[in-house]
Structure 1
């Protein structure tokens, strides 16, 4: 996984990484973490790959006190966002997406046949700690 890695609470070092074993996050998608507190001792950022399967939809959620930046590598993703998921956007391969801290959102794959893959970076070095599920919004736009 890493060429050299700092242990948390040690001095960080420059590191080359390959994404690690994917896991299913609280939101319901597959994530392949790379840069994080756990892997390199990052203190304020993480970066990973997300894959949204064809036709899949996340659970409504927000990232408490953390901003998110996304770069779409392949496919198309729709996203409902706002306090009641009242807004909508579409991002395609080559697009960048910004999600403010604490913004409720619900991403999904627009295609029934092709996955959507993106690079995600967030100001939370621990990917899943800031995820707050919002089940009361899951029924909206279903």
Structure 2
């Protein structure tokens, strides 16, 4: 007995009207030249969103890119309960983390970095000669950034803060 590919079975979770829905609400391709720069920015860094609630309706994930200028670094921060993945496309990244940023690791093109929830960290472009280009993925669509100002880090961060409509500059 031949299987008709257009035949829908009640036990497979598909319904005849899914065809029209999937055309508009299915897979999305976000072209690299169509990323959204209307996201939180830090001096020396340029972030762009590819996947988020506003752009594609993503409920549980955020993805985008960041370009970090030579020798630029973030202030000390964490991302609450979010998990983050950073993929290094080009350049050399240095990550510091811990109670005083006493731990350090470096990553280069082709490497992945995992940042667990609540880990105080600092992102640094370790190459004074070229920008650091990365792809970022976070486990939620909400932009959670908690700046930590009462830490005495091993390496002092720049006086740079993540400032956007949600995160105000310290006074």
TM-score of the aligned structures, taking structure 1 as reference length: 0.82
Query: 54, 60, 72: which is aligned to 2:88?
Result: 72
Which of these two proteins has the greater Rg computed from alpha carbons? 2
| 1:1-142 paired onto structure 2 within 5 Å | 12-18=25-31, 19-23=34-38, 25=40, 28=43, 29-126=45-142, 128=143, 130-137=144-151, 140-142=154-156
Residue ranges of structure 1 left out of the alignment (5+ in a row): 1-10
- Check conservation: 1:27, 1:59, Cα contact below 8 A: no
* CA pair 73-38 structure 1, distance change in 2 beyond 3 A: same
The Cα offsets for residues 30-54 of structure 1, whole Å up to 9 and x where unpaired, read as 1011001121111111110011101
The Cα offsets for residues 45-65 of structure 1, whole Å up to 9 and x where unpaired, read as 111001110110111110010
The structure richer in strand per residue is 1
Residue ranges of structure 2 left out of the alignment (5+ in a row): 1-23, 157-171
SS in structure 2 of the partner of residue 135 of structure 1: coil
> Pairwise CA RMSD of aligned residues?
2.0
SS in structure 1 of the partner of residue 150 of structure 2: helix
Task: Write out the 4+ residue segments of structure 1 that deviate beyond 6 Å after TM superposition.
Answer: none
TM-score of the aligned structures, taking structure 2 as reference length: 0.69
* CA pair 42-94 structure 1, distance change in 2 beyond 3 A: same
- Check conservation: 1:70, 1:97, Cα contact below 8 A: yes
